Chains A and B, each alone.
Chain A
């Protein structure tokens, strides 16, 4: 926090932006249901809510990308209709999107010039960018080419591009989802400086700790409704989470990892994977092992080889060599997914729709998808559909999957319910090894908690769990050891309880040599011996 928190009373002056009674429908779905909201000049205000709570819909209306079906918007006390993003920019509203729109081959200055009206020369523009960069400590070099910049730097280019249009309100949509903890800290410093200079910031996030540290007030949306505007710092993360979910949120306790060294159930030794496309990250000499009873977290920012690694672990991609991947001592390097499953391994890839599950097929068929090689569902090539249906029903029951009807299509389930199904489908087979990528991505808080508990229980029962996750909170909440994947190289695993988020963050940003990492903390790596 910058200064002492002030109470969430509306200021006496006219608010910069006031929305009242905003409605927005998409078909039968009401994305915004009577949302009212105010932001003061120079205020950092959080818009908080789960996926699908209506945050993005709301800001798109403020930025002129969507028109409200009903309700009014007031800008500096005057009622207006924001017709288009151009109109929004003219008013002084800027927005930094979650996904950037930068030309990779052009320089920073060229990219910014493309977005600005008028015909300012590139030299003048570069000078302005440099000036702004030093004023706010943003650190953007106007002559750098975009493809040489890290994701965090690209985001700063987007921010500078907005700032050059001199906005009085800057909207940031989930800006930290692509950043390391260090980059996040830097971003927050920059944002606070803007705020001091009178720029209001509407900060969209579902990360509670961030919101508490950065913002003064938070408006919480739940299923399209405004459930209250609160003083961020006065609420605990748990209280904010409960506002978001609309019910009580439990806690999970990670059990300490056993002191003895249990058996290695899953081992990767010297995994190399050349890039298959121009945009793929090559994997270089990956080695790690997961022991019975533990969750091994693999942290890293998206695009550092997670997809490539997951494909190599599932067997969708198979490499050459012997003993590169072993399950419980058995070499599966050359085996495909079906054979690996027969060895007692379960997988859940990151993408639910079209990878972990077929959206257009029933849950019974989706149960068959990963069990057809395991017996019990197929006899002499003929599918036992009753057995598949029973399996799907059992998974749905045990993993609290809420079904709109009996044996529905996978596409009829919400994201959280489908994720519980695909996780439950594997865990219910009691696999010796469970490998999962982004287990709670885009899932509501309740489902995320359920999934994390299920993984902990599986580990306690003696399985080894490998969890690839970009969510550091998640890694620190449940993994016993953590390794970091950066640019296709993995660090030596460290005991999670003995490292700090800063260390892991530095590794994620690639600022430390990966093999030197364990020395930075006094924590011993589990498998260095």
Chain B
């Protein structure tokens, strides 16, 4: 007999342990898959997790890759803590890129120091606007935010495709679906420290992302906004009793997570691409969901989780180049990781008891006769 007994408290040590075991089991399962596919498992794991960071500049790249994941996941944490399931960060990211792109392309003439700040605000606004659709539909008509936010992602992807092929296309692009390049004032510059010089592709957006995660942690942990979010997620009835309004909290967390995703879209384009194109994201909005859960919905841990997941992404490229392992294996890896994490969550919440039928009775009988 196996009994699951709910734990009254979840010690931090246990959470760290189950997370570690989940990652380890993911590696074991991954090695098994490589072996089945006919690759040397150890060499493949090396390509996946060590080769991508074996040189200094690659570590900078790792941070660049993790940047959008950290920004988006920092926002998603609020949503998931409140039990609001925003699955559409990918679409919100695209709209952040679109809004900020509009500012860069059509209002680029404004005083140079203003352009980036306005683009940042526009990016956040774009993601927020796109997240408001599921927010309003949920609070007004009680629709399911998972479905609505997910489906809107495809709408957003098609919309940006249309804009860059149609109205916003650069007439000089020789028919390629690209907008003109952003003006220089609209680009996020690389980190270039006096005395140190440039750190490969490391840009100021990465620094912003790290700061954002810290701010998110503070807000969630130490402010009334965070308290409301946590209470509504844990015990909505107690939240109403406290005087919090469920609809407002839903709108709030979708604003935060949408705004963060929009910001990520703006940063990604302004720092790495420099113009809008049909694909600006490569699934960051979805991958960030895994990051948020790997971090156990703690924004501080999102930084580490973002780096780990970014490493797996880069490893997928490295393994493909070095060993010809198909890139889709990266997706399998991510899936296994999420599965292991969720399974680990069961062990966090419940204490497992193994009992042979009758064994307990015998033990008790012994106790009883002794008494």
Chain A residues near B (Cβ < 8 Å): 21, 23-27, 34, 67-71, 314-316, 336-339, 341, 347, 349, 351, 354-361, 365, 368-370, 372-373, 378, 381-383, 385, 408-409, 411-412
Contacts and interface: CB of A to CB of B under 8 A. Distances in A.
Interface in B225-253: 225, 227, 230-231, 234-235, 237-238, 240-243, 245
A357 B235 CA distance: 8
Nearest to A26: B5
B231 A358 contact: yes
Contacts of B225: 381
A365 B368 contact: no
Interface stretch (B19-27, B300-308, B359-367): B359-367
Interface string B2-40: 010100110000000000000000000000000000000
Instruction: Classify the secondary structure of B's interface with A.
Output: helix
A408 to B, nearest CB: 8
A69 B224 contact: no
Most buried by A among B9, B363, B364: B364
B364 to A, nearest CB: 4
Contacts of B243: 315, 336-339, 341, 372-373
Given A70-B365, A354-B237, A383-B224, 11 more contacts: A27-B351, A34-B368, A68-B361, A69-B365, A70-B368, A314-B241, A315-B243, A356-B241, A365-B227, A382-B222, A411-B8
B239 to A, nearest CB: 8
Contacts of B238: 354-358, 369
Nearest to A21: B368
Most buried by A among B234, B245, B353: B234
Interface residues of B, number: 30
A372 B227 contact: yes
B142 interface: no
B328 interface: no
Instruction: Classify the secondary structure of A's interface with B.
Output: mixed
Contact of A412 (B8, B223, B353, B365): B8
Contact of B231 (A314, A315, A369): A369
Contact of B224 (A314, A316, A372): A372
Contact of B3 (A27, A69, A382, A412): A27
Contacts, number: 99
Nearest to B242: A369
A411 B241 CA distance: 18
B172 interface: no
A360 B234 contact: yes
Contacts of B241: 314, 316, 337, 347, 349, 355-356, 369-370
B356 interface: no
Contacts of A383: 222-224, 227
B196 interface: no
Contacts of B8: 409, 411-412
Contacts of B193: none
A354 B364 contact: no
B3 A368 contact: no
A385 B222 CA distance: 8
Contacts of A336: 243, 245
Contacts of A347: 241
Contacts of A67: 361
Given A316-B240, A337-B242, A372-B227, A69 B5 contact: no
B245 A359 contact: no
28 contacts: A24-B364, A27-B351, A34-B371, A68-B361, A69-B360, A69-B361, A70-B365, A70-B367, A70-B368, A71-B368, A314-B241, A315-B243, A316-B241, A351-B237, A361-B230, A361-B231, A365-B227, A372-B224, A372-B243, A378-B224, A381-B223, A381-B224, A381-B225, A383-B224, A383-B227, A385-B222, A409-B8, A411-B9
